[in-house]
Amino acid sequence: MRDGVEQMIQQLNGEMPAGTERELGLSRRVFLQFCAGMAATLGLPAGAEAAIARSIVAKRRPSVIWLHLSECTGCTESMLISEHPAIDKLILELVSLDYHETLFAGAGKQAEAARKASMAANKGKYLLVVEGAVSTKDGGIYCKIGGRTATELLNECAKDAAAVIALGSCASWGGMPSAQPNPTGCTGVSEVWKGPVVNIPGCPPNPYNFLSTVVHYITFGRFPDLDNQGRPKFAYSRLIHENCERRPHFDNGRFAEEFGDFGHRSGWCLYRLGCKGPETYANCPAVLFGDAGGGCWPVGTGHPCIGCTERGIGFEKPIHSLAELKFVTSPAFYPHIVEEQGKGVSVAAAAVLAGGVGIAIGAAAAMAKNLGKGSKPENKPAPKSEDSPDGEE
Ligand code: FSX
Ligand code: SF4
Ligand code: F3S
């Protein structure tokens, strides 16, 4: 990637107007590295990073109307706390944020007037970003803004939008406010607005997935490819379990059984604590959160994934129930093919090496066998140190 960045710096040096660095609050090098990273995240071919850099610098800034319905505002929070490069700055550079219910300094009639003025001035061209679920029960009385129900507001704003983005699990499919017994009848944007909707689930969603989607739209005039649930494929096409750093422990039958036990403190697999990584599609282990370094994602910090990006799992399945094991596929980065002190090839590695469905089924059977074992490491002597107060022998 470094060569690409160097090349781009050469190419774009003459094109970036003076003051760009000051305006972006980033050095030219960091900005271009960011563009290269974004192109890689989106899975774009070589050269796309230059197109991204040009479109950010050219400031083809679409107007954005950002609604807040039933939610916790964590989606906006997660954008604002990211750093390196400061994602909030980039978002504000990329789009013209004409209405945002929590970031707006104005309130009441003033804010409503700004929304209407911007919608009229940018009719058919603005992006509508919806954060939060649509509360529909009892005529929508549980979520009203400016005297209008969430449904009325959504339909009014979506009607003249160029595109609608449902940001977060609440907006994508109801999320946390729609958890049973769902007293306010919360549901996702696409259940109410019948036009096309891009869903970026997660509670909160990863800000880079949102930013990459917007960057793609601004650069190429269309959204990246979506899956059958309206989610950008670049972010939601792999199971978390495929890229989890604890996967070798899963494959070798080393599981934490309780929070704080030896296995948990040793970083073993969290499957038995209810981790939903095996049935949840998202790029959390690769993209991470908060720019705080390696391991900064739920499983990395020792908590099982609750499946927050997955409809029917997050906020619906009990947090500590066992996940359904969907497939046995190879992680993108697999640290060990043959375990150091092992007797042979690890289970997922067997599937990779065989590369066939039939063998993968065999691997699944071996995996199921491992799941039936205790959480002692398959190939290692039991720990003898005082570090093992849970009787792991
Ligand atoms: Fe929902 Fe976002 Fe979770 Fe919270 O707004 S996706 S509750 S992080 O804030 O909508
Ligand atoms: Fe990681 Fe969870 Fe899969 Fe274990 S079950 S490997 S913790 S994603
Ligand atoms: Fe959510 Fe699981 Fe990622 S809980 S943030 S999908 S690791």
Task: Say whether pLDDT at 382 is over 80.
Answer: no
Between CA 188 and CA 199 the distance in angstroms is 9
Contacts of 207 (CB under 8 A, 6+ apart): 78, 79, 82, 87
Ligand 1 pocket (Cβ < 6 Å) reads 71-75, 131-132, 168-170, 175-176, 203-204
Among 239, 240, 250, the mutation site with the greatest number of ligand 2 atoms within 8 A of its Cβ is 250
Least confident of 42-51, 266-275, 343-352: 343-352
Mean pLDDT confidence for 385-390: 38
Quote the ligand 3 centre to 302 CA distance (angstroms). Answer: 12
Token duo for residue 361: 């089924």
How much is the pLDDT for 289?
87
From CA 329, how far away is CA 325, in angstroms rounded?
A: 11
Q: DSSP secondary-structure letter at 290?
A: T
Q: Are 168 and 160 in contact (CB under 8 A)?
A: no
**What is the band of 308 on the pLDDT scale with cuts at 50, 70, 90?**
very high
For residue 284, the surrounding DSSP H or E stretch is helix 284-287
Q: Rounded mean pLDDT of the chain?
A: 80
Instruction: Compute the average pLDDT of residues 70-74.
Output: 94
Given a cut of 90, is residue 297 above it in pLDDT?
Answer: yes
Is 185 or 358 the better-scoring residue by pLDDT? 185
Q: What is the mean pLDDT of residues 211-219?
A: 88
Nearest CA, atom 2, ligand 3: 305
Answer yes or no: are the C-beta atoms of 19 and 58 closer than 8 Å: no
Contact 334, 249 (CB under 8 A): no
Query: Residue 73 has what DSSP assignment?
Result: S
pLDDT at 244: 95
Instruction: Judge if the beta carbon of residue 299 lies within 6 A of ligand 2.
Output: yes
Rounded to 10 degrees, the C-alpha dihedral 183/189/194/200 comes to -150
182: left (phi over 0), alpha (psi -120 to 50) or beta: left
User: Hey, CA dihedral for 242, 243, 246, 249, is it positive or negative?
Assistant: positive
Q: Lowest mean pLDDT: which of 167-171, 251-255, 352-356?
A: 352-356
Share of the chain above pLDDT 70, in %: 73
The CA 313 to ligand 2 mean position distance, Å, reads 15
Higher pLDDT, 46 or 69: 69
Helical residues (DSSP H) of 43-149, grouped into ranges: 48-58, 74-80, 87-94, 108-121
Domains of the chain and CATH, by start: 1-59 (no CATH), 60-235 (3.40.50.700), 240-371 (4.10.480.10)
How would you classify the pairing of strands 134-135 and 96-100? Answer: unpaired
Output the CA torsion sign for 82, 287, 65, 152: negative
* Pocket flag, ligand 2, residue 277 (CB < 6 Å): yes
Judged against a pLDDT cut of 80, whether residue 14 lies above it is answered with: no
Three-state SS at 101: coil
Confidence (pTM): 0.80
Q: Write out pLDDT tens, residues 97-156.
A: 888 888 777 788 888 998 999 999 999 999 999 999 999 999 999 999 989 999 999 999
pLDDT at 165: 97
The Cβ of residue 283 has, within 10 Å, a number of other Cβ atoms equal to 22
Question: In angstroms, what is the span from residue 204 Cα to ligand 1's centroid?
Answer: 5
8 Å CB contact between 370 and 252: yes
Q: In this predicted structure, what is the pLDDT of residue 155?
A: 98
- Which has more confidence, 16 or 68? 68
pLDDT digits 0-9 by tens, 323-360: 998 866 666 555 544 444 444 333 333 333 333 333 33
With 50 as the cut, is the pLDDT of residue 381 above it?
no
Q: Three-state DSSP class for 332?
A: coil
- Please report which confidence band the pLDDT of residue 213 belongs to, taking 50, 70 and 90 as the band edges: very high
Say yes or no: CB of residue 169 within 6 Å of ligand 3.
no
Give the mean pLDDT of 30-53.
78
The answer to whether the beta carbons of residues 103 and 111 sit under 8 Å apart is: no
Where is pLDDT greater, at 321 or 291?
Answer: 321
